[in-house]
Structure formats: structure tokens, C-alpha cells
Structure 1
């Protein structure tokens, strides 16, 4: 009897491989809707606020963002970029919110596009959300991400003749830069 109990309580062999190392990410409402409608994307773990995060390839950004706009995500709360580190990818991200009258908890989603450091190009979402105008210009100015189709993609914070992208982690600051007087 004791022998049967020890066999019943003995641990089962642990699964090995990549699947056991990475926790499964549960698809949220937005990801499920995108999948049902045939939009190619990947899931990331939710952020600290529980907001769903999806990643898309640059060539699928406009179709997916257009679909999300039609789904009701009518407000681009934030667009920005960050650098994953020297030699790694640059990331352009979009925080979308579904706003409506008298809504207490609006639905939110974050969309991320990972871009190669050597040629960071992504279509502009300016034509979907006009709020992307200066936000994409700032990401271009600080990280060098080219937002193709943007109507006025030029430096926003740095002088026009500035060389390099100051917020990239591999950026080397110039020893001296002479500013011209505005007179």
C-alpha cells in the first residue's frame, strides 16, 4: 500500500524544450479579433497594467492599424520609440485607446514594431491618426527611424545639421557643437 502511494505521488517527468522555458501568453480580445480576421501578429506578455501588447512586422502595420481604427481604437494616446541596446533592434510603439462617451474603462492595446538598426523604416500612421505627426517626428529625430509617407518628416528637437541620433544607446556625443545665432 505504501509502495502504491509513493508511486502515485512521484513527480511526473518535467517537459523539456523551449515550450517549458517560455510561459504561454493568453490572447486578449484584440489579438483574438485580429486572428479571427486573418491579421498576422505576435503576442507579448501584458504590461504591468494588464494592457495587451502585440507585435507586427513593418509591412503589416498599416493594415493592422487601419483594422484597429475600424474596430474602434480612435485615439493614439502615445507613439514613441526606444533602443533595445547597442547592436540590437529599435522599436517603434503605439498606445491605442478605444474612446467613447461615458466610458469608465476604455479598451487599450499597445502595438510594437521591431526594426533593424541598420535600416529602421516603418510606414507612418499619420494618415490614420493625425496625432502621430509630431510624435513620429520626435522618434525620427532621436532614433533615426524613418516613417515612410509622413508629410513633414524632419528634425523636431535637434538642429537640422545635427549628425546622428542622440537617444540611440550607441550614440557618441560630439566633443563640440557650435550653435548659430538666430539673428
Structure 2
């Protein structure tokens, strides 16, 4: 089922795959990592001028990792802003996605957090380094196949 934005993307031959709508009616297209920079610029030109959030999740243990971008079209005198949710799936063996920092500056810390927690590498990001975990941390703590070391001591709560 295609929405209004998927129809627009198809008309201009921008590669995507419609995944339907979420519970609030927000359209969800899937994009390949290599097509993401071109599509990001097209969406910005279309009017999606605000990156509301970027997050990532582990789809299944040993399977794909997903990077999710929530974009909003902010206009003057708009009662209900238009929204879209872009999903990009990458393999965990080579999780590389082009960064959209140069389109939406607000992706800076959000892409860094996804890198820190899941190990997704955002190519051409100006400062991709750990933001929450120490630099000495080995592994990616929010992946479903992450093994927690057993040498941590529990602290008393009193």
C-alpha cells in the first residue's frame, strides 16, 4: 500500500520500498543504504526540514540492524505537520550507512549514539566516536547477541 510520499518518490524514480503505515498513520518507506544520501536530499527539498529523531534497533539476534529516521515537514500555519519514518536495514557484518549530518545537523549526536550502542558506522560523519560508553568498551551493548562480562560486581543499594 503506497502513501502520498511513496507515490511522489516513485514518480521521480527514487528507490524505496513502501512498508505501510504505523499506528498513527505515518508512512514508512524502506531505503537501501547506498540510496540514502540521494533520497535524503530529495526529502529535504520536498520540505522535510526537521529531523525529529534518529534511532537504531537490532531486528533479530544474528540478523539485520535497522536505522530509523523520523522526519517532519515544518511549515507556517500548518495544523498538522506531515511526518515520515525512514527505515534502513544493514547487515551486522558490515553495518555502514552514509551519514545525513550534512543535510540535517541534528543527526550529529543521534547517529553517534546509534554507533555507540549498535556499531552502525555512519560514513562521512564528522565526529563518529563513542558518546555514552567509554572508549575502552569492547562490543556494542544494545545488540541482542551482546555478551555481558561476568566480572562486574554488584553494589549494595544502601
Say if 1:31 and 1:43, in contact at 8 Å, map to a contact too: yes
Change in 2 beyond 3 A, CA 1:177/1:153:
farther
Structure 1: 5+ residue runs without aligned partners?
Answer: 1-24, 179-183
Give the CA deviation at 1:176.
2.8
Bigger relative contact order, structure 1 or 2, given CA contacts below 8 A and separation 6+?
Answer: 2
Match of residue 72 from structure 1: 47
Aligned mate of 2:74, from 83, 99, 106: 99
Match of residue 106 from structure 2: 131
Larger Rg: 1
TM-score (norm 1): 0.82
- Larger strand percent: 2
Structure 2: 5+ residue runs without aligned partners?
Answer: 154-158
Aligned mate of 2:32, from 38, 43, 57: 57
**Tell me, what secondary structure is at the counterpart of 1:45?**
strand
Task: Output the CA distance in 1 between the equivalents of 2:151 and 2:20.
Answer: 43
Mean CA deviation greater in 98-107 or 137-146: 98-107
Match of residue 30 from structure 1: 5
Give per-residue Cα distances to partners, 1:128-149, cap 9 Å, x unaligned: 0000000000000000000000
Output aligned runs, 1:5-44, within 5 Å: 25=1, 27-44=2-19
Give the CA deviation at 1:123.
0.1
Task: Output the CA distance in 2 between the equivalents of 1:102 and 1:173.
Answer: 50
